[in-house]
Structure 1
């Protein structure tokens, strides 16, 4: 009986600790946000500023989503590329908030996993859906294993490839 009581106490303490850790984690996505309203507002701002909209779909539960967000925050060239060319919107997807209307509007990008990126033009048209697996690093660590994370050069290339100028046919006319 004493062993069972000790085991139950240990389980209770570890469960309580895990719950606290989860609540104190990083929260970059707002599960209660109105995704469609956020997309509409970003599209309107993008149209006025001659930019596109970059949508990052993911959730606070997604370590890769948080890692990407942290990479952008800690890499000035990425942050600048986004700020100069896009209105940036985070759309939450989690087990309790599927944002079905937004997922349909965006072309069900979640089929590629998380995070997933969607580029919209200033009218709200989906121009591109980017599977973030294509942006992962190919670097190998000293242990011989592939490093975990996204590659800055691949991400910059993706961002540059979907700017307003990049998709404007006039950009490529001979002068």
Structure 2
């Protein structure tokens, strides 16, 4: 009886460990990199930014440059994180015109990197917020927004809310007058 009991116990332990291994093999926030394709290395990014600036001016928004590449797991995670959360997705759509700026071996977009003072130095993805006139308001190192194998909703929301057109509206800060 003891050998059967020990055998059954070992099988149960093995099964639990196998289930845990499967659960841990794909951390929260992982995406299928085979299908991730937001960045176009052949896009005329200057033109895309100009179109976004015109749209931002008409709609009273800012331009949000997300710099990275289709090779970048954290870029894919950020996209999934912000688009799958209704609150964040609506905050982005209400306040920003999004432009994906490619950085890859095919195209590093050097002129854009130079123009916005080399945001790639922070790693990827990196976010650059522009006002509707094209002035750089802020460059965000995305590493400060991470939590474990994903992003922190609180940190991302704080970042996004801090750079909205409304947040930079001096009229709302009456205590300065």
One fold, TM greater than 0.5?
Answer: yes
2:101 counterpart residue number: 91
Distance 1:160 1:73 in 2: 16
Distance 1:35 1:167 in 2: 26
Q: Work out the CA distance in 2 between the residues paired with 1:65 and 1:56.
A: 8
Deviation at 1:122, TM superposition (A): 0.5
Match for residue 21 of structure 2? Answer: none
Task: Name stretches of at least 5 consecutive residues in structure 1 with no aligned partner.
Answer: 1-20, 138-146
Aligned pair partner of 1:103 in 109, 113, 134? 113
Superposed CA RMSD in Å reads 1.6
Match of 1:157 in 2: 158
Please state if 1:76 is matched with 2:86.
yes
Aligned residue number for residue 48 of structure 1: 58
Match of 1:59 in 2: 69
Q: Could you list the per-position Cα deviations for residues 120-156 of structure 1 after superposition, in whole angstroms to 9, with x for gaps in the alignment?
A: 000000000000011111xxxxxxxxx2111111111
Q: CA deviation at 1:25?
A: 3.4
1:123-142 aligned within 5 A: 123-137=133-147
The CA deviation at 1:169 is 1.3
| Runs of 4+ in structure 1 over 4 Å off | none
- Give distance in 1, aligned partners of 2:104 and 2:53: 23
Contact 1:42-1:89 within 8 A present in 2 as well: yes
- Distance in 1 separating the partners of 2:132 and 2:121: 24
Q: Which of the pair has more CA radius of gyration?
A: 2
Residue 155 of structure 1: SS of its match in structure 2? Answer: helix
Q: TM-score, normalised by structure 2?
A: 0.78
Match of 1:113 among 123, 146, 152: 123
Aligned residues: 145
SS in 1 for 2:97: strand
**For each residue in 1:58-78, what CA deviation from the matched residue of structure 2 results, as whole angstroms up to 9, or x when unmatched?**
000000001111111211111
